[in-house]
């Protein structure tokens, strides 16, 4: 559900699904936390393919931001 590109100090994560909701939120969390473990701690998440985001997915984004900040990183979305 995600595509990952490493660009200098940043990791660009593109969500390929058209929906960001309770159905794929947990899978997204697991995949992104794996990415966070391996390389850059600064993440840029691209939502341009996504038609809508629900509250469950937003909560996962908060969890990811929390994990990134603990490692000295940050998260940006667009």
Partner 1 sequence: MYKAANFSYRFLNDADNILEFLNEVTRAVLSHYGEAIPKLILSSLKHLLVESMTNSIKHSGIMNCNVSMYFENKYIEIIKEDDGKPFTHHLCPQWPLSDDHITDHPLLIYKGNMDKLLAKVESPCKISFYAETEIDTELDFEKYQLRNFGLLIITKCSKSFTYEYFPEKNINRFSMILSLE
Q: Applying CB under 8 A, which of residues 12, 19, 35, 47 lies at the interface with partner 1? A: 19
Per CB under 8 A, 49 contacts partner 1: no
Q: Applying CB under 8 A, which of residues 26, 30, 52, 74 lies at the interface with partner 1? A: 52
Token pair in block for residue 75: 């998260």
Q: Applying CB under 8 A, which of residues 3, 5, 16, 23 lies at the interface with partner 1? A: 23
Alpha helices, H only, 10-54: 25-38
Residue closest to 40 by CA, chosen among 64, 17, 6, 14 = 6
Q: Applying CB under 8 A, which of residues 1, 30, 62, 77 lies at the interface with partner 1? A: 62
Enumerate residues 6+ apart whose C-beta is below 8 A from 32: 2, 13, 43, 45, 64
User: 25 to 44, contacts with partner 1 by CB under 8 A?
Assistant: none
């Amino acid at each position: 559900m995600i595509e990952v590109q490493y660009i200098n100090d940043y990791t660009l994560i593109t969500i390929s699904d058209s929906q960001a909701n309770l159905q794929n939120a947990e899978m997204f969390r697991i995949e992104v936390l794996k990415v966070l473990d391996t390389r850059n701690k600064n993440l840029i998440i691209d939502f341009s393919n996504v038609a809508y985001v629900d509250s469950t997915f937003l909560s996962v984004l908060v969890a990811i931001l929390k994990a990134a900040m603990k490692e000295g990183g940050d998260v940006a979305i667009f």
